[in-house]
Structure 1
Amino acid sequence: MIRMLLLSLFLAGMAGADTRDSILDAHVLPRFDRLEARTQALSAMADADCGTASAPPRGAFTDAVKAWAAVSHLRFGPTEAENRSFALAFWPDNRGLTPKALTWLILAQDQAVSDSTAFAEVSVAARGLYALEHLLFDDRIATAGNAEYRCALIRAIAADGARLAGDMAADWHDHYAALMRSPGPGGTYQSEAEVIQEFFKALGTGLQMTAELRLGRPLGTYDKPRPLRAEMWRSGLSLDLIRASLRSQRELALLLAKDDADLQMELAAKFDLALETASRIDDPTLAGVASPSGRVRIEALQQRVNEIREAVAKDLGPKLGVSAGFNSLDGD
């Protein structure tokens, strides 16, 4: 009996290690590499052309933001270290701090823009991709103050973002992936099960963010919709980011369920239904939440995402022997 128990624990550990390695090698590391590459390309484009109305920097910006959406559910370890996620992606901005912080920098012509170390100490509200969206797509910010200074600010934000993304990727490759591959007493993770639980929690965090923030914030209530609370509405990327995040979450979910073909099929079908629902919405900024017909379509997408959340909690969690636990969005 004891031998059988030890064998079952050994086999469960081997299965957990295989799943963990698949997630790290096929999902986590490549996506952080892509984020680093896209933010570096954005920084290079800003150096070459910092015109706020130019197509090239706007295109590079879109690529970088989608790359962030694809890792935004991995809110632990290298992403959270040194406040990196907030500095790269300060959203939601419930108090409208970003335009205020940017306006102050522009009008004061703060010289932190000329020193990367000094700029790293600037308020997170004036750093990262969401600050850059204001500079590229908000007419009021894009025309404030001196054009030469705005150009320097765009370049400083883009370079800072590339550094942050590079630090995340390097931390994953040089430290955190190995830490997750070697759980044990005294480590950050005590067992393979704790590593799998971390990834399961990340999946739940991503789905919660999609349902409650990316969709729930603009939906508001029927009597008081909030279209201007949609993520990246100024750049017209609100729906694109939902699609990008769902595709990435789908990948993680199927990797977590890799040892159960039936469960994989169930989860794939639910994700595909959500993505199909999203594809039928012709409303890039989710402005349709303010009209009855548009709202119905967006609510339907939210319902599809919540159905995935339910299946993940009810079917995937027990299969893995883990629970979601507390995540960084709880209590927001």
Structure 2
Amino acid sequence: MKRFLLAATVVCTPLTATANPSIPTIIDDHILPRFETLADTSAALSQAAIQNCDPSSEALRKAYGTAFDAWVSASHLRFGPTEVDDRAFALAFWPDSRGATPRALATLIADKDPIGLGAEGYSEVSIAARGFYALEFLLYDEPLMQPSDYHCTLVQTVTADIAATSSAIYNDWEASYVDVLLSPAPDATYRSEEEVLQEMLRALTTGLQFTQESRLGRPLGTFDRPRPTRAEVRRSGRSAQHVVLSLTSLQDLASHLAVSDETLSDKLNHQFKDALGKLATLNDPVFAGVADPQSRLKVEVISQSVGTIRSTVQTELGRTLGVAAGFNSLDGD
């Protein structure tokens, strides 16, 4: 059931800077629609796998892409229900620097492990064998996409597990976590509205950091040692698309948070537009060009553009909100 805190519709264009950030509006316009879409598209993905589990199925791959788009657009919201039972990692175990995902899947398939025969117990397997990145291997990686009865069932199990996790996240948001954000108190999860805004600012900064350092930084590597094979979801040709999706969603959140400062709002919107414009002209869907000095420069410039946005958010937006982003899960110990 859809829950609307305000009589508002989702706004895709940047907001006009006329009021202080509204937590109910951010929930209604930015957070809930993304998790509802994730739940809906993941359910459709599971149904597509039931109808045709062949890894080369156009309908299945299309449903996979649509649901994965929805996750990327919500993936910066790494607090509350996404963190329960490591749900975010269950949907998206990446980066995987040790190749745990293909190893875990290969073992399941070789052993025809019964745990892969149904979603009910699949949450007990290695987290590397769950979620969208595991499904990419099953649908696009030649050694792991060989059709068989077990492979078919495993695809159905993984998609059902994705759907269950996505539904649990959205249900928890609707059932309880909206109220957690709207009811700060001295003994509550958030003690003040400022702490709620700090959480949202942290989501924005973490999303930008992940996009620059992982989605762009991993394939870039160093000038002497570029790493094009480390690009996110290169097998399905989605690497650059994920950067576009992430920046578009983060721009929406930034617009909501900067609503009280028209100058800053315009500055951030210009910086996001600049980065997205550079991506639009790249014509390199998996960042394969990072190994060529001339093409590499274009990806480096995009990374620098994202870095400029990060700097503006860190030095100006936090000051405007009266909060600091604080530490996030990417900062390490």
TM-score by length of 2: 0.93
1:51 matched residue in structure 2:
54
| Correspondence 1:112 to 2:112 | no
Query: Aligned AA for 2:167?
Result: G
CA contact (8 A) 2:89 2:127 kept: yes
Q: Give the secondary-structure state (helix, strand or coil) at the position aligned to 1:298.
A: helix
1:91 matched residue in structure 2:
94
1:166 matched residue in structure 2:
167
CA contact (8 A) 1:16 1:196 kept: no
Query: Aligned AA for 2:250?
Result: Q
Superposition map of 1:1-332 within 5 A: 19-143=22-146, 147-331=148-332
1:46-78 deviations in whole A, cap 9, x for unaligned?
A: 000111111111111111111111111111111
Query: Aligned AA for 1:183?
Result: P
Query: Aligned AA for 2:178?
Result: A
CA contact (8 A) 1:238 1:285 kept: yes
1:5 matched residue in structure 2:
none
CA distance in 1, matches of 2:119, 2:65: 23
CA contact (8 A) 2:119 2:158 kept: no
CA distance in 2, matches of 1:115, 1:223: 46
CA distance in 2, matches of 1:184, 1:222: 50
Consecutive aligned runs of 4 or more in structure 1 exceeding 2 Å deviation: 15-18, 113-117
Distance 1:18 1:268, change over 3 A: closer
CA distance in 2, matches of 1:260, 1:209: 26
Distance 1:288 1:246, change over 3 A: same
CA distance in 2, matches of 1:16, 1:323: 20
1:10 matched residue in structure 2:
none
1:12 matched residue in structure 2:
none
CA contact (8 A) 1:16 1:192 kept: no
Query: Aligned AA for 1:163?
Result: A
1:274-319 deviations in whole A, cap 9, x for unaligned?
A: 1001101101011111111110110010000000001111111100
CA contact (8 A) 2:81 2:172 kept: yes
Quote how far apart the aligned CAs of 1:22 are. Answer: 1.4
CA contact (8 A) 2:21 2:256 kept: no
Distance 1:320 1:16, change over 3 A: farther
1:156-206 deviations in whole A, cap 9, x for unaligned?
A: 000000000001111111111110000011100000000000000000000
Quote how far apart the aligned CAs of 1:98 are. Answer: 0.4
CA distance in 1, matches of 2:114, 2:199: 41
Kindly report the root-mean-square deviation, in angstroms, between the aligned alpha carbons of the 2 structures.
1.4
CA distance in 2, matches of 1:328, 1:78: 15
Quote how far apart the aligned CAs of 1:117 are. Answer: 2.4
Distance 1:264 1:18, change over 3 A: closer
CA distance in 2, matches of 1:285, 1:212: 16
- The alignment-based identity, stated in percent, is 47
TM-score by length of 1: 0.93
> Any unmatched runs of 5+ in structure 2?
1-17
CA contact (8 A) 1:52 1:137 kept: yes
Query: Aligned AA for 1:279?
Result: A
Quote how far apart the aligned CAs of 1:18 are. Answer: 5.3
CA distance in 1, matches of 2:19, 2:106: 50
CA contact (8 A) 1:70 1:248 kept: yes
CA contact (8 A) 2:45 2:67 kept: yes
Quote how far apart the aligned CAs of 1:115 are. Answer: 3.1
